[in-house]
Amino acid sequence: MSRAEFSRATRLELRDRTGGHCANPQCQRQTLVPLPDRGVIDFGNAAHMAAAAEGGPRYDAALTPEQTRAYENGVWLCPSCATFVDKLVGDYPVSLLRQWQRGAEERCRIEALTGREYDVRVDPGTVTRKTRAFLQRVRDLRMPGGRVSYPAFMRAAVIPDIERLLRDCQAMTFDHPLHAQLDVACNMQRELLDWLRHVVCLLRDPNVFWHTDDGSLHRVGWYPGLPAPRGGDAETDRLNDCILRIHQLAQELDSFASGGRIRGTW
Ligand SMILES: [Zn+2]
C-alpha cells in the first residue's frame, strides 16, 4: 500500500510557517535545537491531518494522493502532540488540526510583524473578530468619501453616530468587545478615534465658519447681528484631512485583519 508522504519542501513549509513551533496552542514547543557549535536538530513532525495511507488516523478515501500529500493536509507538531493526535483520533478531528496550523501561523506572523513576544491572552481569531467589529462600527458611520463640504457632511448626519462610537470606545480595556488586543492594531484604533473626535470638535465649534452650498458662509450657532463671518476654506480643508486619515486608517486596519502588511512594520 502506498503512502502519500509529504515532499521535503512541503515539510519545511509547514515547519517554517509556524516558526518551528508545535502548532498545538496548548504546547507551542520549539522543535528546532541549535547544537552547541553548528547545525540544528529538527525533531518536529509534519503530521497528516488525513492519514497518508488507508487504515491510518482520519484517513479520507475521498482525497487523491496529491491532496493527501498537499500542504493543506499537514500540521507541524512536536513528537508528543503527534503521538496524541494519532492515538486519540476522536479528540483531534481534521477541523481542529486545521485550526491549530492556521493559529500557529497567525501567531508566528503577528510575532514577526510586531517584534514582540506573543501575549498568551491574545487569540488570533479574537484579534481578527474584534478588529472587524470595530471596522464595522466605523463603516456604519457612512463617512462621506472624497472631498466634502460642511453642508454635505451635516446632511450625512453622522455626528450623533460618531459621538456614540466615541462613547462606546471610552476607556477601552483588553476585554472590551472592540479592543483589538495587539498594540499595532490598538494604536491604529486610537489614532482613528482621535481623528473622529477632531471631526466632532470642528463641526461643533461655534467659532468655525463653513461655506454653504450657495457659496455663502455659515457658522454653527451664528446669530444675525454678529460681525460677518470670514474665511471658511481652512476649516473645510481640515475637515477633509480628518476624513482622509480616517479612511486611510480604516483601510490599514482592514488590511491587518485580512492578514496583510502593516504600515511601518517591514
Ligand atoms: Zn506539542
CB atoms within 10 A of CB 76: 28
Q: Which residues pair with 226 in a beta bridge?
A: 224
Distance 85 CA to ligand 1 centre (A): 10
pLDDT more than 70, % of the chain? 81
CB atoms within 10 A of CB 68: 23
pLDDT band at 31, cuts 50/70/90? very high
Q: Distance from CA of residue 52 to its chain's centroid?
A: 34
Distance 108 CA to ligand 1 centre (A): 15
Q: What is the pLDDT of residues 140-190, one digit of tens each?
A: 998 887 777 776 676 666 788 999 999 999 988 888 999 988 888 898 999
Distance 184 CA to ligand 1 centre (A): 28
Domain definitions of the chain by residue range: 8-114, 124-257
Between 98 and 224, the higher pLDDT residue: 98
Query: SS3 sequence, 47-108?
Result: EECCCCCCCCCCCCCCCCHHHHCCHHHEEEECHHHHHHHHHCHHHCCHHHHHHHHHHHHHHH
Q: Which residues pair with 219 in a beta bridge?
A: 209
Would you tell me which CATH number, out of the four given (2.60.40, 3.30.70, 2.60.200, 1.20.120), belongs to the domain 124-257? 1.20.120
pLDDT band at 69, cuts 50/70/90? very high
pLDDT value at 209 more than 90: no
Q: What is the largest CA-CA distance in the chain?
A: 96
Type of residue at 222: W
Q: What is the pLDDT of residues 102-132, one digit of tens each?
A: 989 988 887 787 766 666 677 778 888 999 9
Distance 47 CA to ligand 1 centre (A): 11
C-alpha distance from residue 101 to each of 15, 70, 97 (Å): 10, 14, 6
Q: List alpha helices for the chain, DSSP H.
A: 8-17, 65-68, 79-87, 94-114, 124-140, 150-156, 159-168, 183-204, 233-257
Distance 105 CA to ligand 1 centre (A): 15
- 51 with 77: CB under 8 angstroms? no
